[in-house]
Amino acid sequence: MEVDFGLYDRCELCPRKCGARRSDGRAGLCGATATLRVARSALHFWEEPPISGTSGSGAIFFTGCPLRCVFCQNHEISQEGFGLEVTTERLAQMMLELMEKGANNINLVTPLHYAPHVRKAILEARKAGMDLPIVCNTSGYERAEVIRAMSDVVDIWLTDFKYSSDAVSGRLSAVPDYAERATEALREMLASLRRAGGRRLNRDGIMQRGIIVRHLVLPGHVDDSLAVLDRVWDVCGNEADLSVMNQYTPNAECRSRGGDLARSVTNDEYETVLDHADDLGFENLWWQQGGTVSESFVPAFDATGVRGPELEC
């Protein structure tokens, strides 16, 4: 990808292709203008073991998101706009600071609606000596063309695959084409991984290159979860890790709506999905123990690490 900030003139970075004139200060459907905004930059210990390990992942949380998930736990930054304005130079410096803190990797959380900024910052950080793997932590709702353009600076794709049903994705995330777009994006991630030489861990079991596909099991939606796993297997087989999560926690919006999304996932629901993953043949499979239904997985979005060490209170 050419680092062309003109991409924000009529934005088509995500599958919505909303055409927002972000360069003129008009927010796209992701909620972002052409001004880069970051909500948090800190070590994060709640990712999958090959990402967090014991030292932590260097997570940078970006403001905005192309999806509008009714159950989102990060709504302060994904939908409500919390975050501080930063330059690409400051973003590159955050990466260097996280490396100095001992991070296993640089974990960019929902970054691709800022793809031109992010790519430039990665290249600047590399030039300044940052040599950690770059993790692109995404909702999965991405354009394959953007994945391809970013593939030379991303080492690990940590991607959601939320839905197989268009009806469900339209109702819960306001995107009726999620499954098709996520499948195209995942195919492109796999192609980039193959070009790079395939999955690789270091001697401590920390991923240096690879794909982890995450699926959050939703209460009352087991059939869709099974269909998601079928799609992921058809695209990747065992060339990708699979992470099946049971940490769904109903937020205030879901509790007020009632129905299945007002409750947690049952053990039977979760075990049914895990059994299907086993039946399909996934070898690199990550799952969660009981008791993970909690908002403790959500970090404090308080601009930690964003201003710079000399400005932190």
C-alpha span between 292 and 42 (Å, rounded): 22
Rounded percentage of the chain residues whose pLDDT exceeds 90:
89
Q: Does a structural domain hold residue 12?
A: no
Q: What is the separation of C-alpha 24 from the centre of its chain, rounded to a whole number of angstroms?
A: 27
Domain with 245, as residue range(s), is 25-304
Give the N- to C-terminal CA distance of the chain in Å, as an integer.
Answer: 37
**Domain count within the chain:** 1
The three-state secondary structure class of 42 is strand
Instruction: Please give the radius of gyration of the chain, using alpha carbons only, rounded to the nearest integer.
Output: 18
CATH number for the domain spanning 45: value is 3.20.20.70
Q: Which DSSP symbol is given to 73? A: S
Q: Does a structural domain hold residue 134?
A: yes
Q: Do residues 250 and 263 make contact, with C-beta atoms less than 8 angstroms apart?
A: yes
Return the structure tokens found at 197: 């030489």
Q: Do residues 42 and 92 make contact, with C-beta atoms less than 8 angstroms apart?
A: no
Return the structure tokens found at 157: 């794709």
Is pTM beyond 0.75 here?
A: yes
Q: Does a structural domain hold residue 145?
A: yes
Q: Does a structural domain hold residue 212?
A: yes
Return the structure tokens found at 223: 């059939």
The three-state secondary structure class of 302 is coil
Q: Does a structural domain hold residue 55?
A: yes
Nearest 5°: phi and psi at 176? Answer: -75, -5
Q: Does a structural domain hold residue 13?
A: no
Q: Does a structural domain hold residue 159?
A: yes
The identity of residue 35, as a single letter, is T
The predicted structure's pLDDT at residue 308: 76
Query: Taking phi first (over 0 means left), then psi (-120 to 50 degrees means alpha), and beta for anything else, what does residue 26 get?
Result: beta
Q: Do residues 121 and 88 make contact, with C-beta atoms less than 8 angstroms apart?
A: yes
Residue-wise pLDDT for 235-291, tens only, equals: 999 999 999 999 999 998 899 988 999 999 999 999 999 999 999 999 999 999 865
Residue-wise pLDDT for 14-36, tens only, equals: 999 999 999 999 999 999 999 99
> Could you tell me where the DSSP H helices lie in the chain?
49-52, 75-78, 88-100, 115-127, 144-150, 166-173, 178-196, 222-236, 252-257, 267-280
Residue-wise pLDDT for 156-182, tens only, equals: 999 999 999 999 999 999 999 999 999
Q: Does a structural domain hold residue 312?
A: no
2 pLDDT exceeds 80?
Answer: no
